Amino acid sequence: MAVYDFKTIEKKWQDRWEKDGRFKAIDFDPRPKYYVLYEFYNISGKLHMGHLKGTVPADALARYKRFKGYNVLFPIGGDSFGLPAENAAIKTGIDPHDFVANGFNLVMGQSKQLGLSFDWDRCFCTSDEEYYKWTQWIFLQLFKHDKAYKKNGTVNFCPKCQTVLSNEDSQGGKCDRCGTDVIQVQRDVWFLKMKEYSEKLLGNVDRINMADYLKEAQRNWIGKSEGIQLKLKLVDDKDNHIDDIEIYTTCIETVYGVTFIVLAPENEKLEKLKDHIKNYDEIVEYQKKTTLKTEFDRISQVKDKSGAKVEGVYAINPITNKKVPVYIADFVLNGYGTGAVMAVPCHDQRDYEFAEKFGIEMIQVIDGDCSKQAVEKYDYLEANSKMLNSAEFSGMPVREAKKKIGEMVVAKGYGKVQTNYKMQDWPFNRQRYWGEPIPVVFCDNCGIVPLDEKDLPLVLPATKDYLPNEKGDSPLSKVESFVNCKCPKCGRDAKRETDTMPNWAGSSWYWLRYCDPHNSEKLADFEKLKYWGSVDCYTGGTEHITRHVLYAFFWQNFLYEIGAVPTRDPFLRKMGSGLILDDEGKKMSKSSKNGVSPMEVIEKYGTDATRLHVHFLAAYEDNCKWTYSGIEGIVNFLDKVWKLQEIVKDGGVTKEHAYHLATLIQKSESDYENLKLNTCISACMIFLKKIKEDGYITKEELKQFLVILNPMAPHITSEIFENVFGTDILDEKYPEYDEKNLVMSEIEIPVQVNGKLKGKVTIQTDSNQDAVLEVVKAQNIIDANLPIKKVIYVPNKILNVIQ
């Protein structure tokens, strides 16, 4: 028999699969559907090991589900309106369109070499006109339904890239693109009303099948909290009522301890109170200082509180009628709650530090030692301490008081119950070239006017100048033919919006387009969307869990509400791919210097061996370190599989192998479902060992074994199958097993005496306790001289004798 020549054989099957279109998903097929989605490629260069860790198991799942009789949709495409193309353009002058076309061809070619069973007919890139036409269409719907608005606001801004960033794009206070510290600026910004969807997003999080730590990360990001919004009167030196201010608190039980009020420096109230504030210059000075602070400064100075007193304005605590001073400080954030807080130094560490620095009075209202630091909510609720200095509530357990004071405040009309969320509206424009143009114009006569849907796509014009101008306006502002246009409403001269959408826009709905990727009338046909439904299993990196996945939830909810899609949940299950780490334990990616190229490994060991090795290193959701160590074991295994052809004989499943095969089928099914392919391979190895011991495998056994292994090692199994059976393995069904074959007639069970292992006995399966005890006694495992106090027998598992 010829040796296994993986180069020739793997190429042969890859070509055949492509030529025959073996992996096409069929719309409206009567079989049940299964939609496996792997996060599409960010078009930036070659594939790296991280891609394999994610995509190869997804491919195995898709192939497995096809054997199980599903009509599988397993698509791929390119997230191409991204930074790599724009950066390359700026650096080398290459046209982003060319960069994307080349990059896309490269990764698609490499995907084929990996034997990935994508439906190639459904490929697209987010920068394709036929695709971004519909991204723009969605923006128009958002605008028409009052979910997109333009507003001058404080936003994250990268001074180096000269562009606005969302919170999601500036996690950790660093620009996602260049790593520069992000600052806060006032700017005209397009926002999408994502905050309005907080509760619905939490619904998506609850319903999706996903690891706890991912759910928690999302809930954390959305940041729901319940509290009281309290209204306080503002008075001047002479106690004249000049205005009101609302504050938000989750600790209304501390309201008797309020000794000052703090406003965010950006709070609009300050401007309104201008005439009453005696030190307005000082206030303005502090505001300026805050704006220039980078996120890094704000965090690194957590322990060093800064602020300024607002002279001439005081607040009245409605519950105690106490008059307290007002401050501004940058530890209060304008974007959260009302941008103002009541400060209770004894029971909030930040307030404590601020009061200490500014010499403000402290009133303790809950038990505990407040001499050195605040006794905070976490501590006093846990200890269920008692109230102090709180009028009729003094002496009451704090939990009870929290409820009672809240009720009192609401009953007397001082405040209301309020739910807040940390998540903000999504700043949606970027001063960058390589993105979807925002399809609106500015008309002196009509204001902001959306384009007519029939005029989509609004094509991104060609240019050679990819940098913003000195004012920080988008590169598109330099393309006159693009900027100048006619108002769609009144026909007079108007100017286009020159900012583009963020690169998360195109990825916020792409799974829908796969259901109907070439539709020119709609983003996707409703009936097709209904057929394919939600993505059954979405695989990919965990780093997008608080960005892309939340944006995906948001857009899907919106599209559902306007009747464009049939379901609220984009995904039913999300599996987070573990990372492949290098020797130093760092994430292996394109940027990693000692990253190993998957193509190198394939060249040397073959695609099947490489795929199996990646599966075998760790389960899908677990991290692993890349190592060549162990790949010899895989090569060896494949070699033995290949040589099964030499010992195959006619016949069905034999009595000797029935149990082993049934066990393998059962184990492999649950491993495929949970992407625990390391143990799936191990089960295959165990079966193979048994076969080698017996020195033969029947045709039927070989057929079943090859099908089980095929989703992980598709090439070699296809070749052996064709050699032995003359047909294509892809036409087979996943093997089934008879429950009765899962148990052997005789089994060996351990025998414990007083909980310690003392021996083993072979018994008939399902023997009763007495029968087992007989065998045990016969073998002198237990001390015959001692009385038996107790016997614990778990049928077919274990016998424990207490003497």
Residues 528-547, interacting with RNA (CB under 7 A):
542-543, 546
Is the distance from CB of 244 to CB of 234 less than 8 angstroms? Answer: yes
Q: What SS3 state is found at 159?
A: coil
| Residue 280: partners with Cβ closer than 8 Å, 6 or more residues away | 274
Q: Which stretch binds RNA (CB under 7 A): 112-120, 148-156, 337-345, 523-531?
A: 337-345
Instruction: Establish if 217 lies at the interface with RNA (CB under 7 A).
Output: yes
Q: Which of 373, 754, 765, 768 binds RNA (CB under 7 A)?
A: 754
Is the distance from CB of 221 to CB of 423 less than 8 angstroms? Answer: yes
How many chain residues touch RNA (CB under 7 A)?
85
Read off the DSSP letter of residue 397.
B
E strands along 194-345, which residues? 224-235, 241-249, 260-263, 308-316, 323-328, 340-343
Residue (740 or 790) nearer to RNA, CB? 790
Measured distance CA(12)–CA(536) in Å, rounded: 31
Residue (119 or 330) nearer to RNA, CB? 330
Q: How far is the CB of 417 from RNA (least distance, A)?
A: 13
Read off the DSSP letter of residue 366.
B
Q: Which of 220, 373, 384, 765 binds RNA (CB under 7 A)?
A: 220
Q: How far is the CB of 422 from RNA (least distance, A)?
A: 3
Instruction: Establish if 798 lies at the interface with RNA (CB under 7 A).
Output: yes
* String of contacts with RNA for each residue 607-646, x by CB under 7 A: ---------xxxx--xxxx-x-xx-xxx-xx-xx------
Q: How far is the CB of 171 from RNA (least distance, A)?
A: 4
Taking each continuous run of H as one helix and of E as one strand, the counts in the chain are 25, 29
Q: Which stretch binds RNA (CB under 7 A): 91-99, 185-193, 708-716, 745-753?
A: 745-753
Instruction: Scan residues 98-157 and list those touching RNA (CB under 7 A).
Output: none
Q: Which of 68, 568, 590, 758 binds RNA (CB under 7 A)?
A: 758
Residue (253 or 436) nearer to RNA, CB? 253
Instruction: Scan residues 151-190 and list those touching RNA (CB under 7 A).
Output: 167, 171-172
E strands along 648-781, which residues? 648-649, 697-698, 746-753, 756-764
Q: How far is the CB of 105 from RNA (least distance, A)?
A: 32
Instruction: Establish if 77 lies at the interface with RNA (CB under 7 A).
Output: no
Instruction: Establish if 723 lies at the interface with RNA (CB under 7 A).
Output: no
Q: Which of 120, 280, 296, 336 binds RNA (CB under 7 A)?
A: 336
Q: Which of 757, 765, 768, 774 binds RNA (CB under 7 A)?
A: 757
Measured distance CA(585)–CA(640) in Å, rounded: 33
Instruction: Scan residues 663-702 and list those touching RNA (CB under 7 A).
Output: 676, 678-679, 681-682, 685-686, 689, 692
Q: In what order do the strands lie in the sheet with 426-427?
A: 163-165, 148-158, 183-192, 426-427
Q: Which of 13, 221, 256, 314 binds RNA (CB under 7 A)?
A: 221
CA distances for 97 relative to 42, 467, 476, 668, angstroms: 14, 16, 16, 44
Q: Which two tokens stand for residue 350?
A: 């930040």
* String of contacts with RNA for each residue 260-279, x by CB under 7 A: ----x---------------
Instruction: Establish if 223 lies at the interface with RNA (CB under 7 A).
Output: yes
Q: Which of 186, 209, 225, 762 binds RNA (CB under 7 A)?
A: 225
CA distances for 57 relative to 575, 578, 618, angstroms: 11, 11, 11
Q: How far is the CB of 613 from RNA (least distance, A)?
A: 9
Is the distance from CB of 556 to CB of 568 less than 8 angstroms? Answer: yes
CA distances for 689 relative to 288, 685, 743, angstroms: 74, 6, 19
Q: How far is the CB of 711 from RNA (least distance, A)?
A: 17
Residue (460 or 713) nearer to RNA, CB? 713
| Residue 491: partners with Cβ closer than 8 Å, 6 or more residues away | none
CA distances for 393 relative to 362, 366, 390, angstroms: 19, 11, 5
Instruction: Scan residues 557-616 and list those touching RNA (CB under 7 A).
Output: 616
Q: How far is the CB of 788 from RNA (least distance, A)?
A: 12
Q: Which two tokens stand for residue 436?
A: 């979807």
